[in-house]
Amino acid sequence: MTARDIAPATGKLGILTPGLGAVASTFIAGVIAARKSGEEPIGSLTQMANIRLGERDEGRNPKIREFVPLASLDDIVFGGWDPISANALEAARTCGVLEERDLAPISGELEGVVAMDAVFDQRWVSKLEGTRVKTGSLWEQAEALIDDIERFRVDNGCDRLVAVWCGSTEAYREPSAVHETVASFEAGLKADDPEIAPSQVYAYALIQSGVPIANGAPNLSVDLPCMIELAEARGVPIAGKDFKTGQTLMKTILAPGFKSRMLGMRGWYSTNILGNRDGEVLDDPENFKSKEVSKLGVLDTILQPEVYPELYGNIDHVVRINYYPPRGDNKEGWDNIDIFGWLGYPMQIKVDFLCRDSILAAPIVLDLALFMDLAHRAGESGVQEWLSFYLKAPQAAGETPAEHDLFIQQTKLKNTLRWMMGEEMITHLGREYYDD
Ligand SMILES: NC(=O)c1ccc[n+]([C@@H]2O[C@H](COP(=O)([O-])OP(=O)(O)OC[C@H]3O[C@@H](n4cnc5c(N)ncnc54)[C@H](O)[C@@H]3O)[C@@H](O)[C@H]2O)c1
């Protein structure tokens, strides 16, 4: 196999986050702590995972970051937009994810990540009141974002830029006619079409500026025909949507296990309490709907009820999120899973995950940014399905169903890296160890 032609990761990489809240500030603080005081970037494949190459007995198992040319943490510069947070330090202190003992030594760097004024419209996030916002028509706001991006690139001497949406979840809407083509979307921007959400204005401006973008929230942004068309035309990688953390991570770890042993399922009830700003936004039914749709799709695609109606044809799948301020960012997710086995005898599994949302999401932001930058340098554009590993509602090619099984997604990710570098795919067949 021949390796792809991949441009080297030299110079600075700017990582832009529309949204400078809990996830973005925890991500930025963690990267700064890793490069300043050597904290381990736990949870990040790009920094910590190894990848097997060749046959099992060859012993080739390098770190991913030594195998593929990734930007170094030392070369990252941070930027972002937010209608409320002034800078990353204020955002980190407000959300309360990290303790002062972790923030104090890096407070200067965090304060230096100053939020640019946001494209914001309260119609899409009714619980928030944004003050640091752009004005003018949607077209003018898109142009202002393009100016911000260019200014950031020049001021920080960046070689390359990449973006990860870390903004609030927007109200649920189906795609409409304005999202069909680049031409209809641009006409919509000029006409202030009410179906265009702020996240879509960012997506448009970033892709137009040649900046890859991944969407960490469940609302539509890059998974629209117009954005796919634009990304392909501009040669820009895109990936959506919704960081796979917490309960959905558990679901995509457990469900493939039940299915692999042909255990049946009658129901899966998931409920959460969380008290951060994300929880407050999701307390609004319009915003929760975006999350619900993204969370519910997972089980069906993993369990394939159409193939196994006797095992998975009659599942009650319920997902609830309750805003409960005392918990802050430290979410508690309960799952009650009703399964059945031999002769239909029922069993129950209870999972009580006391997790920390932003602690789980921060390494995903880092990996998505570094892998999107890699894909761009490797000449990839459009939907990056191999990054579905990190996403709750991943994009897939055309009408192809997305893959949700975490372990298949991991194989896909690692095989994509092998393919980029001209290494053999690993099938785990293992016949070669027995044949002479
Ligand atoms: N933490 C997780 O585990 C996790 C998992 C999946 C998805 N997400 C999603 O990631 C996003 C960020 O989560 P969070 O916990 O940091 O939330 P957060 O509320 O702490 O931060 C979101 C930030 O986005 C800002 N914002 C809102 N509208 C904006 C706009 N139009 N432009 C720029 N900024 C805007 C808000 O002011 C806020 O500071 C949410 O959409 C959340 O649903 C988080």
Which tens digits make up the pLDDT trace of 95-108? 999 999 999 999 99
312: CA distance to ligand 1 center in Å?
34
Q: How confident is the model at residue 397 (pLDDT cuts 50, 70, 90)?
A: confident
pLDDT at res. 286: 82
277: CA distance to ligand 1 center in Å?
8
pTM above 0.85, yes or no: yes
Q: Is the CB of 382 under 6 A from ligand 1?
A: no
426: CA distance to ligand 1 center in Å?
37
Q: Is the CB of 279 under 6 A from ligand 1?
A: no
Q: What domains does the chain contain, in order, with CATH numbers?
A: 12-243+358-420 (3.40.50.720), 247-354 (3.30.360.10)
Q: Is the CB of 360 under 6 A from ligand 1?
A: yes
Nearest atom in ligand 1 to 81's CA: 33
What is d(CA 426, CA 190) in angstroms, rounded to the nearest whole number?
49
Q: How confident is the model at residue 436 (pLDDT cuts 50, 70, 90)?
A: low
Q: Give pLDDT tens digits for 18-75.
A: 999 999 999 999 999 999 989 999 999 999 999 999 988 899 999 999 999 999 999 9
Pocket test for ligand 1, best of 168, 202, 330 (most atoms within 8 A of CB): 168
327: CA distance to ligand 1 center in Å?
17
Residue % of the chain over a pLDDT of 90: 83
Q: How confident is the model at residue 241 (pLDDT cuts 50, 70, 90)?
A: very high
Q: Is the CB of 328 under 6 A from ligand 1?
A: no
117: CA distance to ligand 1 center in Å?
15
Cα 432 versus chain centre, distance: 38
pLDDT at res. 278: 79
- Mean local confidence (pLDDT), 317-342: 92
Q: Give pLDDT tens digits for 132-146.
A: 999 999 999 999 999
Whether the bond between 134 and the residue before it is cis, its omega within 30 degrees of 0, is no
pLDDT-wise least confident of 228-242, 316-330, 379-393: 316-330
Q: Is the pLDDT of residue 291 over 80?
A: no
Pocket test for ligand 1, best of 129, 166, 276, 319 (most atoms within 8 A of CB): 166
Q: Is the CB of 240 under 6 A from ligand 1?
A: no
